Amino acid sequence: MRFEKPTGTQDFLPGTVEKWQFVEDKARDLCRRFNYREIRTPMFEQTELFERGVGETTDIVEKEMYTFIDKGERSMTLRPEGTAGVVRAYVQNKLYGEPDITKLYYMGPMFRYERPQAGRYRQFHQFGVEVFGTADPSIDAEVITLGYLFTKELGLSGVKVEINSVGTPAVRAAYRDRLLAFLMPMKDSLCSDCQSRMERNPLRVLDCKKDQDKFGGAPSILDSLDEECSTHFEKVKAYLDAMEVEYEVNPRLVRGLDYYTHTAFEFKAQGIGAIDTVGGGGRFNGLVGEIGGPDQPGIGFGIGMERIMLILEHQNIELNAVKPLDVYLVGLGEAADREITKILFKLRSEGFSAERDYLGRKMKAQMKSADRLQARYTAILGDDELARGEIALKSMETGEQRTVRLDDLAKELGL
Ligand code: HAM
């Protein structure tokens, strides 16, 4: 019997994991600078939370959820995205009772039963942020800038910010009518997906890749915005301009989740194939209330970590992710070997990364190991050195070798 990982999942092995850690550290550091605090919520929640939160007619809820009945006969779902759980936690823990606005971030696996391809998995990972407690457009701009800076600081080039306003539910209802009036005459010529979307979620029809050429004259949602929505959108753009963040207004941008109001945005990368969206998000002013909390506005984004890794690879960006070993200890002879174990423990306790041989190999093979581990130094202890309280220290970079006092080893290695 051979076991294999489930379709659409990945094993992250040493060598790759360090790159992930580097990218995660970057996200954490950015959130520290922007004053966002981490939140960790469960990997599964009540199914209904996502049905209500993400929306009954979305692809996620209709087709992609990992839902199961637990032993208590409750319907549970592995989280397909992060926002609904964070909103639930915000409400349940009454974070809205705090005097300041709430700025949160999270990182972790999400689950969607999708057709896997490059950059699309069934278990994938998001770095996301959510802000609660203000409808001020300056925070829309801040959230967008945070995501933008994340891609910039990782060295990704060609990531574009696209923004749109999807208005309020009332604005969308009016726009839906205008859009349907435009689509109706061509209904029979549209693909079956478009036809069913026309009935369930007409705004998403414009998303269709197949029928794109037919939508040239489609009405723009931006022409349907009311005064409040346009003012908000103008202010968001003005803040972005002030920060010199480049963006493009894309009036066709509709996100695949139902909770958005006002600002919607995506980070798009060029030249990584069919899947070009690195991340997306927007405002969700009705969601907290929808989930049983007070009427508090929110905004956030989710960035796909696999997509980030994919672009890093495409653009040949080398992350300085692997941390070399400080020292590899070689013991020659039985007494020296015992002493090596002691030194190893001491160095590790003092904060050095140190390694030794566990296979009884000859000196040459041990030196090869030291090379593979990119050790800065090897320290070689024979019985003679041991008797004198010394150890031979070799710099792997310069090849220079000298004898140092055992007591001075840590000092010689430096930290
Ligand atoms: P989303 O657009 O569904 O939004 O997902 C955000 C990002 O997660 C996508 O742009 C993509 O990079 C990544 N992603 C989604 N599905 C997959 C997949 N199957 N495989 C790999 N990567 C994937 C949300 O999830 C919202 N919760 C974002 C948000 C936060 N809006 C407000 N706050």
Could you count the other beta carbons within 10 Å of the beta carbon of residue 332?
19
Q: For position 66, which CATH number holds?
A: 3.30.930.10
Ligand 1: residue whose CA is nearest its atom 14: 304
Best of 10, 45, 78, 81 for a ligand 1 pocket test (most atoms within 8 Å of beta carbon): 81
Considering the domain architecture, whether residues 297 and 363 belong to the same structural domain is answered as no
User: What residue numbers bound the domain in which 35 lies?
Assistant: 17-167+225-314
* First-residue to last-residue Cα distance in the chain: 48
Q: Does residue 383 lie in a domain region?
A: yes
pTM: 0.94
**Angle at which helices 227-242 and 137-153 cross, to 10°:** 40
Q: Which residues line the pocket of ligand 1, CB cutoff 6 A? A: 81-83, 112, 114, 119-121, 124, 126, 128, 130, 256-257, 277-282, 300-302, 304, 306-307
Give tens-digit pLDDT for 4-41: 999 999 999 999 999 999 999 999 999 999 999 999 99
Q: What would the pLDDT profile of 229-272 be if each residue is shown by its tens digit?
A: 999 999 999 999 999 999 999 999 988 888 999 999 999 998 67
Overall number of domains in the chain: 2
**Given 268, 283, 314, which residue is the final one in a domain?**
314
Residues 172, 166 contacting (CB under 8 angstroms): yes
Compute the distance from residue 214 Cα to the ligand 1 centre, in Å.
27
Q: CATH number, domain at 407? A: 3.40.50.800
How remote is the CA of residue 317 from the centroid of ligand 1, in Å?
23
Average pLDDT over residues 366-394: 95
Query: How many CA within 13 A on the CB side of residue 148?
Result: 18
The rounded percent of the chain whose pLDDT value lies above 90 is 86
Find the 18 Cα to ligand 1 centroid distance in Å. Answer: 23
Question: What's the mean pLDDT in 372-383?
Answer: 95
Mean pLDDT over 45-62 rounds to 93
Mean residue pLDDT across the chain = 94
Whether 392 and 253 map to the same domain: the answer is no
Q: Atom 9 (ligand 1): residue with closest C-alpha?
A: 279
The answer to whether residues 269 and 305 belong to one domain is: yes
Tell me: pLDDT of 77 over 70: yes
- Which atom of ligand 1 has the smallest separation from the CA of 83? 27
pLDDT score recorded for residue 415: 60
| pLDDT value at residue 172 | 93
